[in-house]
Amino acid sequence: MKLAHYYILLMPEKNFTLPNKLKIEKRYESYRPAFNEILEKIENLLKQKINLPSNPTYKARIKSFPSYYKKILRQKAKESSESNELVTLTDMIGIRVICAFVEDLALVEKQVVESFDVKEIERKGAEQSFKEFGYESVHILISIPESCLPESGISPELRKNLVCEIQVRTILQDAWAEVEHELIYKSEFNPFDKPLRRKLASINASLTLADIIFQEIRDYQKKLQTELGARRSSFYEKADEFSEEMLGQSHHQAADSSSIESPFSKGSIDDLVLTALHEHNTGNFKKAVEIYTQIINSEPVPPAMVLSVIYKHRGMAYFAQSLYEEALNDFKKSVEHDPKCFRSIYYEGIVYSVQGKEKEAVECFDRSLAIDAFQSHVYYRRALALFNLGNYTKAMEDVNNALKLGLEDEDLNTLKLKLIKKFDMQM
């Protein structure tokens, strides 16, 4: 049975006239240049308005005429046969925003709502059960912004009725939608037998689970980076106390955060790391050392890269307690497990500086810079050690290198002034 005959049978009206396909196609294609212009402008506008930590990708398309005509027959056949104007559908102009993580979907939706005149929001797949198969997606219908409409080539009625559909999906949701479209939507024969439907449901569920796991990993990384940043800051604050004392500057006052409770519970090694970092950041150094040690001694033995990181963290906790030999030993163990860990080598140098062993400190700073030559703060620390050794020329070179790399630090400027005075005295 031909498609046209099929739809005639569905129509209850005796005098129904099938829409003129050739006439509609000619009208549709005449508007395509205007549609393409609108599409390009909206896509560019979206790229300006949407701001995510991980840049999304965009897919833009104008609905093909065969797809448009089939949908017209299903939904608006009578209207199309009677109208002299092109009958609009909500998905004639469409842009897909494909995000890396589930959390991005809400951000994109919020930014679209704030930037456009939204007519409708539909969350497809949100109500489906586990046994059902189908794709998940947020569909946002927006009015075409006046700035995106062409000056000519489009009728007043069409200007008023035309909308753009913005679909927001994760990468995995988009992959599923593309495959499902080929297997089910475009196919004349859908899989009706239960085994095949269960397999499709299983694939969809697996992709959904993968999205959830990716998001959990992302959340963990964010928590980890927050804790790492706070821990590193506290380490440098203590190191700065010694350099400030030498330079005659006032000491920083560290905030009392001992009353803060950890939001993390001990479970996996990941949980232990987060808990240890939190204890570290809140000033509970002994507890942090205890947990770091638990991780180091865990079975099976953690990989070398993990051990390198944990030894580095424990060394920083020892340093915070002024246990310098213990800190030094841990930084050295960190380097044993990862010889390219330039930060641990740098931290060795800081400990030596605090102990007054400036030659050993300079050697460590040299080794750290040999691995990564773009560490502005290492140049500063080496300059400070060289200053204490009386090597003012090389110290000034390192001060200038630190400044070139963008280090903005009051202590650095103080050291530079002291060096200038030394040069003036030598003249």
> What is the Cα–Cα distance from 20 to 6, expressed in whole angstroms?
16
For 106-112, the CB contacts below 8 A with 24+ separation are 107/52, 108/50, 108/52, 108/56, 108/138, 108/168, 109/138, 109/140, 109/168, 111/49, 111/50, 111/51, 112/46, 112/49, 112/50, 112/140, 112/142, 112/166, 112/168
Peptide bond into 195 cis (omega under 30): no
Instruction: Please state which of the ranges 79-83, 317-321, 372-376 shows the lowest mean pLDDT.
Output: 79-83
17, 30, 19, 164: which is closest to 89 by C-alpha? 164
21, 25, 15, 27: which is closest to 2 by C-alpha? 21
Residue 100's φ and ψ, nearest 5 degrees, are -75, -40
- The pairing of strands 118-124 and 93-99 is unpaired
Which domains, ranges and CATH numbers included, belong to the chain? 3-190 (3.30.460.10), 214-372 (1.25.40.10)
pLDDT in tens, 96-154: 999 888 888 889 999 999 999 999 998 876 444 433 444 467 899 999 999 999 988 78
> What is the Cα–Cα distance from 159 to 53, expressed in whole angstroms?
35
- In 87-177, DSSP assigns E strands to 93-99, 118-124, 137-143, 163-170
Calculate the CA 229 to chain-centre distance: 17
Write out the two tokens for 34.
Answer: 């205007």
pLDDT at 260: 35
Cβ atoms of 56 and 99 within 8 Å: the answer is yes
pLDDT at 400: 93
The mean per-residue pLDDT over the stretch 223-230 comes to 65
pLDDT band at 329 (very low <50, low <70, confident <90, very high): very high
pLDDT at 285: 87
DSSP secondary structure letters along 365-397: HHHHHHH-TT-HHHHHHHHHHHHHTT-HHHHHH
273, 366, 343, 351: which is closest to 318 by C-alpha? 351
User: What single letter denotes the amino acid at residue 135?
Assistant: Y
Instruction: Please state which of the ranges 16-25, 26-35, 263-272 shows the lowest mean pLDDT.
Output: 263-272
